[in-house]
Structure 1
Amino acid sequence: MDVFLQQLINGLTLGSIYGLIAIGYTMVFGIIGMVNFAHGDVFMVSSFIGLIAFLLLTTVLGISSIFLVLAIVLVVAMLFTGLLSWTIERVAYRPLRGSFRLAPMISAIGMSILLANFVQVAQGPRNKPLPPIIPDVIVLMDNNGYQVTLAYKQIVIMAVTVALLAGFWYLVQKTPLGRAQRACEQDRKMAALLGVDVDRTISLTFVIGAMLAAVAGTMYLMYYGVVNFNDGFVPGVKAFTAAVLGGIGSLPGAVLGGLLIGLIETFWSAYFSIEYKDVAAFSILAITLIFMPQGLLGRPEVEKV
């Protein structure tokens, strides 16, 4: 039971990170029907931005307040990552929007390779460590020397995920930008005829998704304390898996899928072989899509005739 509780906490933490990345996938796919395969590498770049910002704030400027540093790092990572995603959308995706469906996907894969190799050249192939942030833990149970702990950084990660999910649900459902996004999702041509600035809406969607990925990248860096140029691919694929599992196009579904992927990974690693944790996660996805092709919270796609 102690192992179960500890892995439940770890799984919810990891799943929260996946969920934040998955929201970016589901927002972009919901509006333009494109899988942004560079999104995982945008997440990785945001982790490096957060690392550089943290080291500058603590070693160069000498700021000692961890919470102030973390807040500044979040803002800096979100701003620079949003600008990067806006540039990617303008340069690599917008010119191909009217072409055949595979062209934007190929462009996204190329952009993913470009970002990964750029970071490898700029920062080197080695792991980049970060000094421990918020190392304190709360001991929930102590049973014969085995402690069930809840780290303060895990509380921060889960609280940030809940807050951002609530905030972006409100953004999509209650604000003019959200109405424009939902209009573009239903019919971009009709939305443009009714006065919606489709290009602006799509660009803002990319920026918002990248900012969420920046938060996830900062949380990932804080949780693991290390980042590598290869860290965009696997988390990105798992976040995309989470978006599909939860129902791509659904914000709550993206977070739910992320939590499920995180829980499957951690429980499988604890009770079975850790080498097959990725196989288990993708197998659950395949089984779900066989019986529920629209995902857990997705809506069946209705083809217009």
Structure 2
Amino acid sequence: MALVLQQLINGLTLGAVYGLIAIGYTMVYGIIGMINFAHGDIYMVSAFIAVTAFTLLAALGISSIPLALGVVLLFAVLFTSVYGWAVERTAYRPLRGSTRLAPLISAIGMSIFLQNMVQLTQGARVKPIPPMVVGGIDLLTMNGFTARVSYSQILIVVVTVALMVGFTWLITRTSFGRQQRACEQDRTMTALLGIDVDRTISLTFMLGASLAAVAGVMVTVYYGVVDFYIGFVAGIKAFTAAVLGGVGSLPGAMLGGLIIGLIEAFWSTYLAAEYKDVATFSILILVLMFRPSGLLGRPEVEKV
């Protein structure tokens, strides 16, 4: 029972990270109908920004953990938002009127560029940082095994829930959210109504990159090491989470991330760990066979 509880905690923590990244995918898809395949590498860039910021703060003698986390989150969000804006301006906006395949190829090229840029500037070795958030709470002990939730896991879940609530409110209750939904339905008519479509799309990319930045900082604090390849793996998992939950649905993206995190945690414990990705994609195939729009997605209605 203690082992089950521990893996439940680990799965929810991992799923929360996937969910944060998946929300960025689903926001971009919802407004322009395309997947930003460079999103995972923006998350990777944010992790390296976090490592650099933590190192600089340590060199300056700042030892307060809450202050350091706040400053690093601020820097990561600001700089990563610029990357999100740059991806939209260079990889998507010039190709917005072309075929749907062209921007996807451009985004894959941007992904490769970001990977190689980080590899050349930061090196191919992993970048470690000292433990930032240590300690935890013992929950249950059975048969000599103690289920424990660390403070870093609590931090990840709390931040994820807060961001999920905040972004849901932003999309459903604010003027910017109404502009996003209008662009999603008909960009031409939205422009005729006086809404700056280009600005709305750019801000959406920046918001998605901000979520990836938070995920990058949380993962850096949780694992303590980053490398230039983590964006590809996390991006594929988060994209799968977005499709599983229903692309275009914020709650669906989070639900898909939690499902994948739980599958990976329990599969790695009770079955062969090397096949956990096979299990994840098998579940995705089964869901799409019986519900092509995803668990919480809505079927796309073609406008005539």
Q: Give the TM-score band, short-chain normalised.
A: over 0.9
Give the structure 2 partner of residue 87 of structure 1.
86
Write out per-residue CA displacement over residues 126-165 of structure 1, whole angstroms, 9 at most, x where no aligned residue: 1111111111011111223211000000000000000000
Mind listing any 5+ residue stretches in structure 1 that lack a counterpart? none
Give the structure 1 partner of residue 43 of structure 2.
43
Please state whether the residue corresponding to 1:150 is helix, strand or coil.
strand
Give, in whole Å, the separation in 2 of the partners of 1:241 and 1:136. Answer: 32
Mind listing any 5+ residue stretches in structure 2 that lack a counterpart? none
Give the structure 2 partner of residue 280 of structure 1.
279
Give the structure 1 partner of residue 18 of structure 2.
18
Counterparts of residues 199-210 of structure 1 (less than 5 Å): 199-210=198-209
Give the structure 2 partner of residue 131 of structure 1.
130
Tell me the amino acid that sits aligned with residue 5 of structure 1: L
Query: How much has 1:208 moved relative to structure 2?
Result: 0.2
Give, in whole Å, the separation in 2 of the partners of 1:234 and 1:266. Answer: 16
**Is 1:70 aligned with 2:69?**
yes
Equivalent pairs counted in the alignment come to: 304
Write out per-residue CA displacement over residues 140-199 of structure 1, whole angstroms, 9 at most, x where no aligned residue: 112232110000000000000000000000000111110000000111111111111100
**Is 1:3 aligned with 2:3?**
yes
Give, in whole Å, the separation in 2 of the partners of 1:144 and 1:4. Answer: 13
Tell me the amino acid that sits aligned with residue 140 of structure 2: M
Please state whether the residue corresponding to 1:259 is helix, strand or coil.
helix
Runs of 4+ in 1 over 6 A off after TM superposition: none
Tell me the amino acid that sits aligned with residue 274 of structure 1: A
Structure-1-length-normalised TM-score: 0.99
Give the structure 2 partner of residue 150 of structure 1.
149
Give, in whole Å, the separation in 2 of the partners of 1:283 and 1:40. Answer: 22
Please state whether the residue corresponding to 1:299 is helix, strand or coil.
coil
Query: How much has 1:223 moved relative to structure 2?
Result: 1.0
Give the structure 2 partner of residue 61 of structure 1.
60
Tell me the amino acid that sits aligned with residue 212 of structure 1: L
Give, in whole Å, the separation in 1 of the partners of 2:170 and 2:33. Answer: 20
Write out per-residue CA displacement over residues 61-101 of structure 1, whole angstroms, 9 at most, x where no aligned residue: 11010111011100100000001111121122110100111
Please state whether the residue corresponding to 1:249 is helix, strand or coil.
coil
The range that moved more, 135-144 or 286-295, is 135-144
Give, in whole Å, the separation in 2 of the partners of 1:298 and 1:172. Answer: 16
Structure-2-length-normalised TM-score: 0.99
Give the structure 2 partner of residue 219 of structure 1.
218
**CA RMSD across the alignment:** 0.7
Give, in whole Å, the separation in 2 of the partners of 1:91 and 1:142. Answer: 54
Query: How much has 1:218 moved relative to structure 2?
Result: 0.5
Please state whether the residue corresponding to 1:232 is helix, strand or coil.
helix
Give, in whole Å, the separation in 2 of the partners of 1:113 and 1:72. Answer: 29
Give the structure 1 partner of residue 253 of structure 2.
254
Please state whether the residue corresponding to 1:148 is helix, strand or coil.
strand
Tell me the amino acid that sits aligned with residue 215 of structure 1: V
Give, in whole Å, the separation in 2 of the partners of 1:293 and 1:27. Answer: 19
Give, in whole Å, the separation in 2 of the partners of 1:296 and 1:174. Answer: 24
